[in-house]
Amino acid sequence: MDQDLMAKVAAGKVGGMTDSADLALALRLADQADEIARRYFRAPDLGAQRKRDGSPVTEADREIERVLRASIRAEHPGDAFVGEEFGAQGRSRRRWIIDAIDGTASFIVGDPEWSTLIALEDHGDVRLGMVSAPAIGRRWWAMPGTGAWMRPYPSDPSAHPIRLTLTARGNAKDAAIGIWPPPSRLSATERDAAARLAAGTATVLPVLDWSTAAHATPPPSKPSTGSGTCHGALLVATGKLDAFLLLGAGPWDIAAVIPIVEEAGGIFSDLSGQRRTDTGAALFARPDIHQQLLNMAKSPN
């Protein structure tokens, strides 16, 4: 645990955070997840398996989610919980949304760009988001009205959190956008929307033919690969991309990064323009181009 940071949280001095108790709990949860993940990362046997949807899962994913569920239940027994591995538990206006390891495929092969996603929703509105990426030594967090923050750890415990702030840079046709997953894993409707965005913007990562369902050879890397940010939405929050479209996503893939992007000055919505995490689509973008991209993604019919 970063005692210096925790002391600032307790005093309400980190990034203007006012609800220090929830932030402090989220930090403890992130520390627990980091400790478990480090034990498994690059170990010879991760117990990796394929789930029904074809995505990978390891013993680390399961253990992290079990431990975080137990910690939340111990401190807030009335709070609800939903995680990627074990589903939903409880009904409450407060709901924790957890992805134990976002980027399990990277985790399995020993690549460092994976993270734990932690979010707290209140009355359906995400009020806290945290992303912890111990293998690259980064942690991001935000709560509404208090800014989005990144802190390197633990290599430099004296480092102060850095506030993330976006600036307007022009028209959507000049934008750089990341899209994930690749076309072969998208439905025809999703592929059409991705193809329209790819055709209408200047730069698209990964560089693919988004109009076809054919498998790319070699398999493409995520837009965030090599960026030190782990999640495509963080590329937007940190100014490395102008927009990011995530398709076929669950709430656990989206919720934690919503406050971070929004507090940095960006906008989040699904492709209908609604601020929802349950439709499978998430568009994160600079505020000056978000609506342009939504219009671009719409079917001409």
Q: Which of 21-30, 45-54, 72-81, 162-171 comes out lowest in average pLDDT?
A: 45-54
Judge residue 29's burial from the number of C-beta atoms within 10 Å of its C-beta, 0-12 exposed, 13-18 middle, 19 or more buried.
buried
Q: What is the pLDDT of residue 17?
A: 41
What is d(CA 190, CA 229) in angstroms, rounded to the nearest whole number? 25
Percent over 70 (pLDDT), the chain? 91
Angle at 75 between CA 252 and CA 104, to 5 degrees: 25
Strand duo 115-122 + 148-152: pairing: unpaired
pTM of the model: 0.92
Q: What is the pLDDT of residue 215?
A: 92
Q: How confident is the model at residue 53 (pLDDT cuts 50, 70, 90)?
A: confident
Q: How confident is the model at residue 159 (pLDDT cuts 50, 70, 90)?
A: confident
Instruction: Estimate to the nearest angstrom the gap between the alpha carbon of 102 and the chain centroid.
Output: 8
Q: How confident is the model at residue 11 (pLDDT cuts 50, 70, 90)?
A: very low
What is d(CA 127, CA 264) in angstroms, rounded to the nearest whole number? 14
Domain 172-297: give its CATH code: 3.40.190.80
- Listed by start position, the domains of the chain span 3-164, 172-297
Give the CATH fold of the 3-164 domain: Fructose-1,6-Bisphosphatase; Chain A, domain 1 (3.30.540)
pLDDT, one tens digit per residue, over 190-244 is 999 999 999 999 999 999 999 999 998 888 999 999 898 999 999 999 999 999 9
Query: What is the arithmetic mean of pLDDT over 153-168?
Result: 78
Mean pLDDT score of the chain: 91
What is d(CA 111, CA 113) in angstroms, rounded to the nearest whole number? 6
> Cis ω on the peptide bond leading into residue 206 (within 30° of 0)?
yes
The more confident residue out of 282 and 55 is 282
Q: What is the pLDDT of residue 16?
A: 43
What is d(CA 190, CA 144) in angstroms, rounded to the nearest whole number? 30
Nearest Cα to Cα of residue 31 among 140, 143, 132: 132
pLDDT, one tens digit per residue, over 241-259 is 999 999 999 999 999 999 9
pLDDT, one tens digit per residue, over 80-102 is 999 999 988 999 999 999 999 99
Beta-carbon contacts of 296 under 8 Å, excluding residues fewer than 6 positions away, are: 172, 196, 197, 200, 201
